[in-house]
Amino acid sequence: MIKVVKYNKLIRDRIPEIVKKSGWIPKVRVLKKSEFLAAVKKKVLEEAEELMQAKDSEELIGEIVDIQELLDVLSAEVGLTRLAVGGLQLAKRKKRGGFRKRLFLIEEEKI
């Protein structure tokens, strides 16, 4: 009996090699540029959900690393360098603030 596990998702570059070493035969394809951006965005959501489910700091760190990798790919896809992202972050932080104060907006009222 042949066992098949379907994934239909973006994977890291070395996953096919790792799958082969575990005795499975991976079936992969290279995404077209037009498909890739959508797949990366979907993967960010998948990793964000895993981040929400993280039970300890080790799992949390692993998910942060995965999300940062995906954000780096997204940045490159739209022509941003890490340096440029850092500058844009700083500008936005100056304009709207960061998250260091841990503020939580409950509601607002119009007077």
Report the chain's terminal Cα–Cα distance, integer Å: 70
Spans of all domains in the chain: 32-96
Note the pLDDT of residue 21.
98
Q: In tens digits, what is the pLDDT along the chain, a chain of 111 residues?
A: 899 999 999 999 999 999 999 999 999 999 998 899 999 999 999 999 999 999 999 999 999 999 999 999 999 999 999 999 999 999 999 999 999 999 999 999 999
Residues 6+ apart with CB under 8 A from 84: 75
Q: Does residue 110 sit in helix, strand or coil?
A: coil
Note the pLDDT of residue 34.
86
Residues 6+ apart with CB under 8 A from 75: 81, 82, 84, 85
Say what the pTM is.
0.86
